[in-house]
Amino acid sequence: MPEGRSIPGGIRSGGGLVDTGSVRDGDAVCWDAIVVGAGPAGCAAAYDLSIAGRSVLLLDKADFPRPKACAGGLTRKSLSALRYSVTPVVRERPSAITVEKNAAESAVIRSLMPICAMTVRDELDDFCLRQTVEAGVQFERIDPIETIDEMNREVHLRTRARYFRAQFLVGADGVHSQVRRLTGEARWFRRGFALEANVRTPDAASAAMVFDLGTVSGGYGWVFPKGDHLNIGLYTIDSSEKLNRERLATYIATRCGAVNTEQFVGQYLGFGAEQAETSSARIFLVGDAGGFADPLTGEGIYGAIMSGQAAAKAIEGDLRGKKAAASAFMQATARLRADLRLSSAGARWFYAHPDTGYRVLTAPMLRSLVLRAYASGSGVAALAQAVKNIVEILPL
């Protein structure tokens, strides 16, 4: 698709607001920040910078809306972190989780408040992009980036036919980040994998939100109700666990029988931010690109939002002469990275002992802690450590 095509619904890529430059003219405007990737992380960074009065160019290789593999559950902590309400794209608000073991044993954990808001990811991302553009961000659809050069005071990007300049660059372009690949080897980066499909079934509206432990080595199966359909998937942090369409189809058939299944989509998740000790002076990796997904829960949206906002805060502070953006970004993400460090250790233990993990999570004295940790973010990492400690004292 040629660059500058209209996005469905009226948001125009390019917009005709400014000349972003080309390889031929070599004299592109210098933006305060360029953000590569228009998912939750990129939109979070671009939105905050724009409302602070900064000139921001948001780049993505895809049209919006575009398919995106993601269970689409927004926890309360994610909803609180967003700068705007996403109610228009919320499908369901479940107030209970069914925890299962191999789709056999089960326990229901209930809450007085909704645990999360269920969305369809392509709808969510399109909505967030619209909010970001309305906040003043310029959006461009581009071809793959070929080179990135970090200068003393600028960063230069080139695609096959375009040339861009900015004082700062935010890489929010996912697990297969071109920004990460072109700006240095990240030895700390790790990946998980999720495979999902949508299932049309008459009782989708009344279906439970399910986490199924033990079904997958190093992970879990899930069922998320979306009103007119179910989103069912498998997630793992175990690189030796092979997930494919046939495996998921068998899992769905076991749970639901003969149903109409569509849109099988796989997606890697980015881990390892907790091991990153430094940041570039002018280039920041956020979201999956920066390894900010949670390996214990598989949740990526919260880390995406928080790391994107942290990058924006660091850049804004630097532009105001307060503190170098690199050190400010590491400081702003310190708590998040510390939580991910605990979560990573907890995930390795938890998924190595799914039977014990199931009994711990469904123990009456721990159910409220499980809900609070998952929904509000008041200790997912702490929960991981607590589970390991409690195993030593409970007669499980």
Q: Nearest 5°: phi and psi at 118?
A: -85, 125
Residue 113 has pLDDT above 60, yes or no: yes
Query: What average pLDDT does this structure show over 18-27?
Result: 41
Average pLDDT, rounded, for the chain: 85
Residue 103 has pLDDT above 60, yes or no: yes
Q: For 208-239, what is each residue's pLDDT tens digit?
A: 889 999 899 999 999 999 888 899 999 999 99
Q: Do the beta carbons of residue 60 and residue 143 sit within 8 Å? A: no
Q: Which of 19-33, 151-165, 380-394 has the highest mean pLDDT?
A: 151-165
pLDDT at residue number 102? 81
Residue 391 has pLDDT above 90, yes or no: no
pLDDT at residue number 108? 87
Q: Do the beta carbons of residue 334 and residue 67 sit within 8 Å? A: no
Measured between alpha carbons, how far apart are the two ends of the chain, in Å? Answer: 58
Return the CATH fold of 92-118+191-270: D-Amino Acid Oxidase; Chain A, domain 2 (3.30.9)
pTM: 0.88
Token match 């690949």: residue? 181
> By CB neighbour count within 10 A (0-12 exposed, 13-18 middle, 19+ buried), where does 244 fall?
exposed
Return the CATH fold of 30-66+123-188+272-339: FAD/NAD(P)-binding domain (3.50.50)
pLDDT at residue number 20? 46
For residue 90, what pLDDT band results from cuts at 50, 70 and 90? very high
Two structure tokens written together for 231: 């989103």
90: left (phi over 0), alpha (psi -120 to 50) or beta: beta
Residue 193 host element (H or E): strand 190-200
Residues counted in the chain = 396
pLDDT at residue number 388? 54
Q: Which residues contact 290 (CB under 8 A, 6 or more apart)?
A: 41, 171, 180, 270, 273, 276, 284, 307
Residue 367 host element (H or E): helix 367-376
Give the other-Cβ count within 10 Å of 83's Cβ: 15
pLDDT at residue number 24? 37
Q: Within a 13 Å sphere around the CA of 393, how many CA atoms are in the beta-carbon half?
A: 4
Q: For 266-290, what is each residue's pLDDT tens digit?
A: 999 999 999 987 778 999 999 999 9
Two structure tokens written together for 226: 């979306």
Rg (CA), the chain: 21
Distance (Å, whole) CA 286 – CA 304: 6
The domains of the chain are located at 30-66+123-188+272-339, 92-118+191-270, 352-391
Query: What average pLDDT does this structure show over 184-196?
Result: 90
Specify the DSSP class assigned to residue 12.
B
Angle (CA) 296 301 306, round 5°: 100
Q: For 121-172, what is each residue's pLDDT tens digit?
A: 999 999 999 999 999 999 999 999 999 999 889 999 999 989 999 999 999 9
